[in-house]
Each structure stands twice: as C-alpha cells, then as structure tokens.
Amino acid sequence: MSNDLNAYNIFDLRKIALKRVPKGLFEFMDRGTEDEVSLRNNREVFDRLRFKPRTMVDVSKRSQDNTLFGVKHKMPLVIAPTGVAGLMWFEGELALARAARAAGIPFTLATGSMTAMERVADEAGGELWFQLYMWPDRSLSHELVERAKAAGYKALVVTVDGVSAGNREYNIRNGFTIPFTYSTRAMLDMATHPRWLFGTMLRYLATTGMPMYANYPAAAKAKMTKGPVGRSSLRTDSISWDDLDALRKIWPHKLIVKGMLDPQDALTAVEHGADGIDVSNHGGRNLDGIISPIEILPQIVDAVGKRATVFMDSGIRRGSDVVKALALGADAVMVGRSTLYGVAAGGEAGASRALEIYRDEIHRNMALLGCNTLDELGPHCLQFLDSQLRPPSSTPALRMVDEKIAT
C-alpha cells in the first residue's frame, strides 16, 4: 500500500488529524478526563516493560494469524467502538469497517455512531461486532440488540464502565455538543478547518442533514438533550448482573463485556455467560487515577483461564504495545484512537494506513524477539521493571517454553 499521507507511525497520523479536524472534535477524540493522569499512565506503563529477545531463531515464516471465537483473522487486532468516527470523516464508520475487512480483522460499531448498523452491514461487510450501552429504559437497549442480530452482527460488546459521564471539562470549554451548537466559538473552529468543513460537515448537511446518533431508536432520540458530548448521551447508574443475564438470553452469538479491571468481576461475568472480557479503562476517559489495563491484565488472565477470550485496550500506539499485551496473556488487542487518527487523516486510506503500520511493527517485533507465531509470545519475552507488574502465572506460551526445557 502506498504511503500517500507520509505517515510512518501512529503519531504521524495524529499530527495530520490535529491539523484537519476542528479543535473541539480533536480534543474529544484525543484527550482524557480531569487531570489526565490515567491517560498518561496508559502510555507510560508500557515503558516499564522491556523485551528479552531470543536469537539464532529462524523467523522467516512468521505469521500473525489469530483465531477469535473459532474465526481466523490476519492480525491480533480488533477495531474498538468509537462513536465519533462519522464526524472525523464523512461516513467514517463505513471507512473504518472497510479498512478492517481489507485487513482481515473485526470492526466494532459503536452505539453512538453516525451511520446506521444496517448500512454498515450492507455496504462494508466483514466481521462486524456491535457495542451496546445499557440505558435507563432497558427495552431501548434490547431493541438495538435485536437490530444487530437481524443485521448479522457476530458479537455483542456491552460496555459496563460508563455508569457516569467522565468529567471532560475541555468539551464544555470548546462548546462541543451533539447536535452541534451554532456558537461563535464552534463556528470559528469549523471555519478555520475548511477541508473538514467542506469534506465532512457540509456533505452531511447537503445529503442527510445534521449528524445524529443513527442507531438510537426514536424514543431514545426524543429523550436526548443538547449538551457536551458524553453528557448528552443516555446512560444508567443502575446496571447489574441481571442486565448481563438478560442480554445472554436474547443474544445468540458471542457476548463480550468491555470495561473490566477487577479479576473477580471478570470471573463473575464469565459465570453470567460472557464469552469475552475486554480489560479496559475507557482510554482514560471516565475515571482519572484509575489503573492501566495492562497492569491488571495478567491477573484477569489468571482468573478466567480458558473460560473466556481476553482482550485489552487503552494506550496502544505501537506494534510493540500490542506484542507486550499478547505476551501478558491477551488474545487480541482493541485499538480505538489509532484508527480514528487514521480515518480523520485520510478516510479509509488513513485507517488502512494505521492498520498497515501496526502490521509492520508487530511483524518486526516478532522477528527481533525470535517468535514465529503469536502463541510463542509469553512472559518470558519480557523483563518486568515495576513491582506492580506481574506476569500471569501460566499462559500457553509459557507452558510451551517450560515443556521444551523439560524435554
């Protein structure tokens, strides 16, 4: 694939996105909550994990093939749900889904997306998952589940760490709302980003009108109030295990619980029917001062064992980050901001470039570590420089190494 964007890493794509989209929109995508302690730690924690490579290994036939829920994929990545993809680029959800299909990985459509789930299924295809929030009126959430089932989505990703809106003060300062507010600040912000204004916003206004949450049922849209993004969305603080039981009864496919950071919670979720656990702190966007997912990932891997597929997200920006998460027991990694930077920079081509960067970096890291398959990655590939970071007590790769030593 050509590199027309002159982007050589994810940080290059971020710089291009920063120039192209309005400040209010970019900061909603890019920033965390309150003092952004969690946002910084999500990145810094990776520096406390160092590689221990093996040499004199033939790695000429290495492969990133990965199997999730019995389906083979070409990379150990999943595109995470990101509700503003359709604001980064005209019909950005379609661009992301097409890039995911071409890369051979799943794409997760957010509840708060600007493109209807049926259109994504019809026009993009691929391995599609749907992310769900539980709303105060559970029947409205269940209505979305039925739509996703009818549209052919293969996994339901229920987000459980959003019982209260994160305190993202910059959204208020920037006047960034859905629907958009025609304030002087917002209009100036859009006017000073003409490529985005003409290529995205005016295209919506000329075709479908003001961007809205396309998957919300009519009753949910009627209950929405204009306000800073994240606070204008429906949410409930009464979520419980009964909600997971109810979803398990009506959803016939794979059920993933997203936003867990406690081993006991992860195990309980499995006992209530979850097929997958996504270890996540919402990208540092909800609770500030919260632990990084990779700090607790090994303990959750130990807790659920082989009973569930384990994912991890938050802070991933390099192929080396992906490799470290896999070495600590994750079955795959979800990426959100990285592909948003890509789609904001160049639509489908930008999203594809982000995934190509990850593919190249993972491929290179595997070679330098002396690993031919993802199963060969394990805690033995890492040096733990922080007493708070601990490897899982047992992983397939570690057991494989132990068996080789024993023989």
Q: Closest by alpha carbon to 112, among 88, 136, 131, 139?
A: 131
What residues contact 57, with CB distance under 8 A and at least 6 apart?
370, 371, 372
Token pair of 74 as six digits: 């070409």
Torsion of CA 170, 171, 175, 177, to 10 degrees: 170
User: Angle at CA 376, nearest 5°, toward 320 and 353?
Assistant: 35
CA dist., res. 266 & res. 199, Å (int):
43
In whole angstroms, give the CA distance from residue 206 to residue 174. 25
| Catalytic annotation, pick one of 73, 142, 193, 282 | 282
Strands (E), 164-268: 254-260
One-letter amino acid for residue 357 of the chain: I
Find the Cα–Cα–Cα–Cα dihedral 233, 234, 240, 246, rounded to 10°. Answer: -110
Strands (E), 152-208: 155-159
Nearest Cα residue to 51 out of 384, 351, 301: 384
In sequence order, the β-bridge partners of residue 109 are 130
DSSP annotation of 81 reads P
Residue 38 CA from chain centroid, whole number:
16
CB burial readout 60-78, b (16+ within 10 A) else e: eebebebebbeeebebbbb
Contacts of 159 (CB under 8 A, 6+ apart): 81, 131, 132, 133, 258, 259, 282
If we measure between CA atoms, which residue out of 57, 99, 59 comes closest to residue 75?
Answer: 99
Is residue 380 part of the annotated active site? The answer reads no
Q: Is 388 buried (19+), middle (13-18) or exposed (0-12) by CB count in 10 A?
A: exposed
DSSP structural state of residue 380: G
Q: Which residues pair with 383 in a beta bridge?
A: 50
**221 φ, ψ (degrees, to nearest 5):** -60, -35
Secondary structure of residue 2 in the 3-state scheme: coil
Question: Could you give the residue numbers annotated as active site?
Answer: 282
